Amino acid sequence: MMASSYNAKEEDGHPSGASGHGGPGVVKSKKPDNTAFKQQRLPAWQPILTAGTVLPAFFVIGLIFIPIGIGLFVTSNNIKEFEIDYTGVDMDSPCYTCAKNSSWNNTTPCTCSVDFTLEQPFESNVFMYYGLSNFYQNHRRYVKSRDDSQLNGGRSALMEPSKECEPYRKTDGVPIAPCGAIANSLFNDTLELFHIDSNGSRNAVPLVKKGIAWWTDKHVKFRNPGGNNNLTLAFQGDFSKPVNWRKPVYELDPSDPENNGFINEDFIVWMRTAALPTFRKLYRIIQKKSSTTPTLPSGKYTLDITYNYPVLSFDGRKRMILSTISWMGGKNPFLGIAYITVGSICFFLGVVLLIIHYKYDTRNNSADIPN
Amino acid sequence: MDFTLLRNIISRYCVGEENWVDSRTVYIGHKEPPPGAEAYIPQRYPDNRIVSSKYTFWNFIPKNLFEQFRRIANFYFLVIFLVQLIIDTPTSPVTSGLPLFFVITVTAIKQGYEDWLRHKADCSINECPVDVVQQGKVVRTQSHKLRVGDIVVVREDETFPCDLILLSSSRHDGTCYVTTASLDGESSHKTYYAVPDTMAFRTEQEVDSLHATIECEQPQPSVLICEFLHVFYSCRPLGAENLLLRGATLKNTQHIYAVAVYTGMETKMALNYQSKSQKRSAVEKSMNAFLIVYLCILISKAVINTVLKYAWQWSPDRDEPWYNHRTENERQRHVIRAFTDFLAFMVLFNYIIPVSMYVTVEMQKFLGSYFITWDEEMFDEELGEGAQVNTSDLNEELGQVEYVFTDKTGTLTENNMEFIECCVDGNVYIPHAICNGQILSAHLLCFSQEHEDLFFRALCLCHTVQVKEEETVDGIKRGIHQGRPTSFYISSSPDEVALVEGMKRLGYTYLRLRDNYMEILNKDDEIERFELLHVLNFDSVRRRMSVIVKSSSGDYLLFCKGADSSIFPRVVSGKVEQVKARVEQNAVEGLRTLCVAYRRLSESEYAEACHHLTEAKLALQDREQRLAQAYDIIERDFVLLGATAVEDRLQEKAADTIESLHKAGMKVWVLTGDKMETAAATCYASKLFRRSTQILELTKKRTEEQSLHDVLFELNRTVLRQHCLDFGLIIDGATLSAVLKPNQESAGHGNYREIFLEICRNCSAVLCCRMAPLQKAQIVKLIKASKEHPITLAIGDGANDVSMILEAHVGIGIMGKEGRQAARNSDYAIPKFKHLKKMLLVHGHYYYIRIAELVQYFFYKNVCFIFPQFLYQFFCGFSQQPLYDTAYLTLYNISFTSLPILLYSLVEQHVTMETLKREPSLYRDIAKNSLLRWPVFLYWTCLGVFDAVIFFFGAYFLFDNTTFTSNGQMFGNWTFGTLVFTVLVFTVTLKLALDTHHWTWINHFVIWGSLLFYVIFSLLWGGIIWPFLNYQRMYYVFMQMLSSGPAWLSIILLITVSLLPDVIKKVLCRAMCPTATERAQVGC
């Protein structure tokens, strides 16, 4: 009642202490603005997820997804793919000896041939891949072991490669170009494809090596130091080739100056590290000849391999893949199946919800009426 | 002047030897003794600078950083950052450094801004001009240059610059009037007195010629002061009435001379300025619990991966195949490598602890609290003020309240007192006319003229009301029209004003207090003068106040008024029975009653009383206790005169509010100091008790008949027997303290506390009457500590509610008439009780669902973010290869997904405001922290894990050994990560969109805008060879991905699949067992 004890906590003019709300103090004496935002009365759309509103969405998703899935599945099934493992693990495989003898110290190339038969003709453009298994291109130590500025033709990076390249940075004090584990382990098997005629003669299948790398990589991200002319001059002297390489970078493709040095497409393809330990990389393109004859008619083929790349030490496998391509890429039934499954589930759920909706809605309504 | 002698006198006469060291000696006007003099210890005092700021320009950065890194979350991120700097980790230090920097900077800017405001406020205070007397002249100086011992001149309407001892005043009686409106909101004028020895000083020269010292205790925050002024050889005690406190304002007095005794940070105001203890909300507690769970998940993830890594690496061709050699450096550090690997995994997964959650929560609370202050419905036209937020930390706690403890007077009721009647010896007087005191009373027999006269005089004299003339003040205004300028009665207690005014209507007008004489205009228009000798102030323990006056005829009279319970035991004669009956009848009607008694003192008795009082006032130690003792001795042997009744009307919509709170499942307790009958009547009126409520009484009256033990057990049995009945409990202060008293007698009796709590748990409404302020806090504490740990809310308006407001989880102050102390100490302040409804049912509800979603969503989105990284380790040889690019890792939490959830947590309204107000029962849906309980948390986490698995394996199967471009080219690991990340960003944003029930244009803008921002950023990030980066891994990755049809198809598919379970869960729950909230959503 008559309590008048002195117990001031704050002084006027001070913003209220630790919590420090300057704002509330400002509007203290005034009536707050009657704006929709401040009164939390902004006009709003208030959707509610009920069985009734979600039902159509489920049916629509089902109706859209199932056809897409069927389309994808059919497309994927129409794609022809042929895969052959040429690692040479088994005694009877043609590359067994090469595989046993292959190591980086071997200077004499070992060749072997694998025969195979295509049951069906491959129409349109055919893409030739090499595939590696159990090869951890996505290992952290491996992924970071590169110098993008060196690959972009940066002069200073050429002389002094990034530290990330260790232990493939320098040999005996001489910088390596291109440096790093990725470049060092460049896939260097040579694959050649021959079609065996009905009369037994070997016809080389023309393999195109242009267009296997991303356009942007080839033209922007990767660049030779000092332009594409006279690479020999640009790279000679102060640089050494990566330890595992047989030839220096400027001799990757001496026949074509547009495909030599850092902008060699095989090299660029290798430099894009794969996401998973089993991967394939585009090797060559077999362009279609004409609209009437198939690119690769069914029949016997021989794959000639210059076997340089050792994979047995880490239990890896090497494959050669021939595949046609549709608008949705290579053979991959997953997407189609997934679409069909999800579409069906949605449709099924739609039906279930419909039942629930009618069952419970009427019950709720009847329950609500007395209220 | 012989100071040695003086000192000896002082030490012998005034102060006990033992506390000599504890006091300070102030030399008025700095007239210190010569340095050689004995026993003079120069004391150092701080200057008069007020520092409320925490930082200075120089120490801001180090100090603020230190403060911030004391928070465990920030420290954790700092450690992660340092680990990244020191060891070779998968992600660059930027990824955790930048978010940390962002969080720290935002917080530092906020704190810096607040501190800058404080600096500005400090500066304006420290630099305001002050007049000081130096060498007999008035010199103007700045406030912060003031020193202890300076003589200060303060003029009318100026604020005291420091704590001062009043030496002399321009008023002849040596008094001055002071208002402490800016301190505690009490606009009444309090009178302070000059030291009698110096009150005659008129000019600067006179004041400056004063040679004296003041002994005073070292600064203490308590209000008690024991000070002594030593002038020449006399020693005079000083009291609170001589001490002018910093922050108060001089009124109605031209100027005063005063000497500074406490300056700067040693003033009572600064010492009392302490930050309130930090209250933590239940949400924050569950947030921390979740964090610990996630920390465990993080550590176990890192451990699992480290172990698996070493298991996997067992064969050397896996550990170090020919294509991927280690550097020499890496080979050597064999011993610590496992530990570094563990740390590296920690770093890789550290984003699972959401770095930006704290800053988002803080921003949400800070910005969200503005909606309370902006609320027009909580604005009170009469007061001209809206709701205030003193701390935004507890916003969501408003939605969790289970117990409401409310004060009665001023909170439930208007505290707008109206005099209803008085009764003298059983004769009732009722003033009818509003003005011009006419008695239209129905008094029948007037056999005791003497008592009647004394009664009216008692009420006219026994109060602390002041008369304020002319000027209008903010406080309580009542006009007195007597042909003179308008004047008002002002008091800190509305009851007193009502009584004095009631007296006026009955013909006795209190005119003024002049020169210690109180003047009364009696019924016959004669002015009577009484000399005011002593005021025995009111306190809430005694519950009464007294004055000792000397009438013009020379009689010494002691008038006392107070609560019936404190008066009746001290009454020796008078018509006790009649008065008691009337008092009880009035109390039942809900009126506030006071009893009035008097005692005639003989000369010797008066002298004795005087002696007691002065002795107590002189005491250095236990002064309050001694005063109480003295009062106890003096206030006895009363003759009962009569009683008064004052009505306090219920506040507007109080009943409606209480009903809503009940419906919302809250238990409402009324804690009041009033009589049981009065309080019970108010409770019925405010629908706290309904007609159907069965009232259980636990009062002193009952415990006198039976033992407390029996009563408690009996009540407990009643309560347990009839479950369905609506119970109400009434308990009084005396019984309560008996219940709470630790039971020492025997263990066999059981713990009363538990039984009491058991009874309370079954009562929907509890009324505690006759409560002391501290008991209110005790009750709150008791409930807080009961085994369910309910969330409590205390609401009150007066100083006596402060303890309970501070004790409860949420303290709400009403900007009432009894000053601003409650509002200042509260967490939230509202103008009226009715605003509590909107505060809890609407704002509290909104804040709770908003913050609950915020917390859950933050954990969810970070599980979605990090779990794919964890899965990826199984496919990259546990090499800590991050799945996402550095930019994505860095920006995920601070820009791609931060704004939508912040906005959601500011504007979400799952149900309209009208519905929430209309149906208070919706509040039960969120009771007991229901949205942050473990099952819900588990659901969100599982949803996050599910989504993460979908993201990762969806992308995995898409990438599985095939191409998905139409030109046959292959994608690499960064495209893989980008695909997962794109699905991730879209999924978590759309998940929030699905949870949003209130789509304003801002929501649309922010949600679609942030998705668009992600796309644009990715295009830009991959579109340029960034010259400052040493890697170009993201170059054209995003564009290449978008150029592929299957990538689009899989993004759409994965988003759909990720969102599907949540949608189904929502729809099914709603259809099968809808909560009240869900029903309300459909209903509107």
Using alpha carbons, list the distances in angstroms from residue B1082 to A49, B104, B841, B891, B930. Answer: 10, 43, 19, 38, 21
CB contact under 8 A, A345 and B1060: yes
Contact list in B for residue A185 (CB cut-off 8 A) is: 322-324
Using alpha carbons, list the distances in angstroms from residue B826 to A128, B804, B811. Answer: 76, 10, 5
Confirm whether B407 is a catalytic residue.
yes
Count of all residues that appear for chain B in the document: 1084
Q: For chain B, say whether A291 makes contact (Cβ under 8 Å).
A: no
Name the E strands within B563-711: 571-573, 591-601, 638-650, 667-671, 694-698
Token pair in block for residue B155: 């003029």
Q: Which amino acid is at B246?
A: R
Q: What pTM was computed for the model?
A: 0.81
**What is the Cα–Cα distance from A325 to B265, expressed in whole angstroms?**
82
Residues 6+ apart with CB under 8 A from B551: B528, B530, B557
Contact list in A for residue B825 (CB cut-off 8 A) is: 9
Q: For chain B, say whether A54 makes contact (Cβ under 8 Å).
A: yes
User: What does the pLDDT look like over B840-860, one tens digit per residue?
Assistant: 999 999 999 999 999 999 999
Which has the higher per-residue pLDDT, B1022 or B273? B1022
Neighbouring C-beta atoms of residue B707, cutoff 10 Å: 11
Rounded to the nearest angstrom, the minimum Cα separation between A223 and chain B is 12
Q: How many CB pairs under 8 A join A and B?
A: 383
B828-830, strands of its sheet edge to edge: B388-389, B828-830, B810-814, B792-796, B403-407, B667-671, B763-769, B727-732, B694-698
The contacts found for B1017-1026 with CB under 8 angstroms, 24 or more apart, are: B1017/B887, B1017/B891, B1017/B895, B1017/B896, B1018/B978, B1018/B982, B1021/B885, B1021/B887, B1025/A152, B1025/A220, B1025/A221
* Mode of pairing for the β-strands spanning B243-244 and B255-262: unpaired
Write phi, then psi, for B1066 (nearest 5 degrees). -60, -50
Residue B940's nearest CA partner among B1007, B863, B1054 is: B863
Sign of CA dihedral B76, B78, B81, B85: negative
Token pair in block for residue B238: 């000083």
Token pair in block for residue A311: 């994979």
Count of all residues that appear for chain A in the document: 371
Fill in the DSSP letter of residue B844.
Answer: I
**What is the Cα–Cα distance from B532 to B534, expressed in whole angstroms?**
6
Q: Which of B327, B369, B963 sits opposite A330 (nearest CB)?
A: B963
| Peptide bond between residue B33 and the one before it cis (omega within 30 degrees of 0) | no
Contact list in A for residue B976 (CB cut-off 8 A) is: 275-276
**What is the Cα–Cα distance from B729 to B76, expressed in whole angstroms?**
50
Q: For chain A, say whether B338 makes contact (Cβ under 8 Å).
A: no
- Which residue shows structure tokens 């004790």? B807
Q: What is the pLDDT of residue A369?
A: 40
Is the pLDDT at B888 greater than 90? The verdict is yes
Q: CA triplet B870, B875, B881: central angle to 5 degrees?
A: 60
Which has the higher per-residue pLDDT, B973 or B138? B973
CB contact under 8 A, A49 and B800: no
* Mode of pairing for the β-strands spanning B544-550 and B527-539: antiparallel
Q: What is the pLDDT of residue A132?
A: 94
The answer to whether the CB of A334 falls within 8 A of the CB of A342 is no
The answer to whether the CB of B533 falls within 8 A of the CB of B514 is no
**What is the Cα–Cα distance from A347 to A352, expressed in whole angstroms?**
9
Contact list in A for residue B1046 (CB cut-off 8 A) is: 72, 328-329, 332, 335
Contact list in B for residue A65 (CB cut-off 8 A) is: 1053, 1056
Q: What is the pLDDT of residue B621?
A: 64
User: What does the pLDDT look like over B475-530, one tens digit per residue?
Assistant: 344 444 444 445 677 776 777 888 888 888 888 888 887 777 888 888 778 888 88
Burial of A324 (0-12, 13-18, 19+ CB in 10 A): buried
Alpha-helical segments (H) within B128-212: 181-184, 204-208
Is the pLDDT at B543 greater than 60? The verdict is yes
Q: What is the pLDDT of residue B1027?
A: 84
CB contact under 8 A, A315 and B1053: no
**What is the Cα–Cα distance from B465 to A2, expressed in whole angstroms?**
10
Token pair in block for residue A327: 């608008």
The answer to whether the CB of B492 falls within 8 A of the CB of B506 is no
Q: What is the pLDDT of residue B224?
A: 42
CB contact under 8 A, A275 and B973: yes
> pLDDT digit of tens for each residue in chain A (371 aa)?
333 333 333 333 333 333 334 334 444 456 788 888 888 888 999 888 888 888 899 999 999 999 999 999 999 999 999 999 999 888 888 889 888 887 777 777 889 999 999 999 998 899 999 999 999 999 998 998 999 988 988 888 888 888 888 888 888 888 888 899 999 999 989 999 999 988 889 999 999 999 999 999 999 999 888 776 777 777 776 788 898 898 888 888 888 888 888 999 999 999 999 999 999 999 999 998 877 888 899 999 999 999 989 998 888 999 999 999 988 888 888 999 999 999 999 999 999 888 888 887 655 554 444 33
Residue A207's nearest CA partner among A264, A98, A285 is: A285
Using alpha carbons, list the distances in angstroms from residue A369 to A205, A365, B1078, B1080. Answer: 80, 6, 17, 14
The answer to whether the CB of B454 falls within 8 A of the CB of B447 is no
Q: What is the pLDDT of residue B97?
A: 83
User: What does the pLDDT look like over B574-588, one tens digit per residue?
Assistant: 788 888 888 888 887
Q: What is the pLDDT of residue A2?
A: 35
Q: What is the pLDDT of residue B448?
A: 61
User: What does the pLDDT look like over B702-744, one tens digit per residue?
Assistant: 777 777 778 888 888 887 777 667 888 888 888 888 887 765 5
Q: For chain A, say whether B1026 makes contact (Cβ under 8 Å).
A: no
Catalytic residue among B163, B393, B407, B425: B407
Q: For chain A, say whether B675 makes contact (Cβ under 8 Å).
A: no
Find residue B548's DSSP bridge partners: B534, B558
Mean pLDDT in residue range B175-193: 69
Containing B564, the helix (H) or strand (E) segment is helix B564-567
Mean pLDDT in residue range B167-192: 72
Q: For chain A, say whether B821 makes contact (Cβ under 8 Å).
A: yes
Is the pLDDT at B472 greater than 50? The verdict is no
Q: Read off the pLDDT band of B920 (50, 70, 90).
A: very high
CB contact under 8 A, B956 and A21: no
Binding residues of B for ATP: 407-409, 496, 538, 561, 592, 672-674, 770, 776, 800-801
Q: Read off the pLDDT band of B68 (50, 70, 90).
A: confident
CB contact under 8 A, A127 and B327: no
DSSP letters for A155-224: HHHHHS--GGGTTSSEETTEEBSS-SHHHHT----EEEEEEEPTTS-EEEPP-B-TT-S-HHIIIII---
User: What does the pLDDT look like over B992-1019, one tens digit per residue?
Assistant: 999 999 999 999 999 999 999 999 999 9
User: What does the pLDDT look like over B958-987, one tens digit per residue?
Assistant: 888 788 888 889 999 999 999 999 999 999
Q: What is the pLDDT of residue B231?
A: 55
The answer to whether the CB of A262 falls within 8 A of the CB of A93 is no
Across chain B, what does the average pLDDT equal? 81
Q: What is the pLDDT of residue B141?
A: 86
User: What does the pLDDT look like over B548-571, one tens digit per residue?
Assistant: 888 888 888 888 988 888 888 888
The answer to whether the CB of A282 falls within 8 A of the CB of A129 is yes
CB contact under 8 A, B323 and A184: yes
Is the pLDDT at B197 greater than 80? The verdict is no
| Peptide bond between residue B93 and the one before it cis (omega within 30 degrees of 0) | no
Residues 6+ apart with CB under 8 A from B805: B794, B795, B796, B811, B812, B813, B822, B825, B826, B827
Rounded to the nearest angstrom, the minimum Cα separation between B722 and chain A is 27
Burial of B5 (0-12, 13-18, 19+ CB in 10 A): exposed
